Amino acid sequence: MSRLSRRNFLKLTGSSAAVGTLSLSPLARAQQDQGPNATGSTTLPYPREVVARLGDVAVNQPVHFNYPDSRSPCVLIRKGREVKGGVGPDRDVVAYSTQCTHMGCPVNYDQEAETFKCPCHYSVFDPDNAGQMVIGHATESLPRIILEYDEAEDALLAVSVDGLIYGRQANII
């Protein structure tokens, strides 16, 4: 009985993985060609929801809403100055999940410091820089709620999420 060395095992399994990946490429391309709502698609569509009217949103005053479902608390902030990823005529409106990426504690918007702070383990997130983690135990930015602005209706719409909401395998359940 011959023994398979670790080196040869890794060569064999590495080659098998490469062949398997290459053989799936045509299947992946076929699914992409079918569109986002195709049967068997792995990407579910996010709902498009009006979360606020821009005229009703005061500068530096948090507006709370849930997205993409009722178990996903979020907050919208109008910064009063252009910020990274901002929408609206002044590109000053952003929104984030309020569940800390460290352990899911609810983060609070500190109006004086203009940051999100987690009271559980003291992580701090910067809404001016795409929700980036500034300090603390968290290792990821806050999930950013992608917004669109409908000028005709003066409406701010949530259309998707950039990042994974804490405690989920997928944002759409």
Return the active site residues: 102, 121
Dist. CA 16–CA 5, nearest whole Å: 17
Provide the sign of the torsion angle of the four alpha carbons 106, 111, 116, 117, taken in this order.
negative
Provide the sign of the torsion angle of the four alpha carbons 81, 116, 142, 162, taken in this order.
negative
Dist. CA 107–CA 42, nearest whole Å: 30
Q: Cα separations (Å) of 98 from 17, 47, 77, 148, 162?
A: 39, 19, 12, 19, 13
Comparing CA positions, the residue from 91, 99, 131, 100 lying closest to residue 114 is 131
Where in the chain does DSSP place strands (E)?
A: 49-53, 63-66, 73-78, 93-97, 108-110, 115-117, 124-126, 132-135, 144-150, 155-162
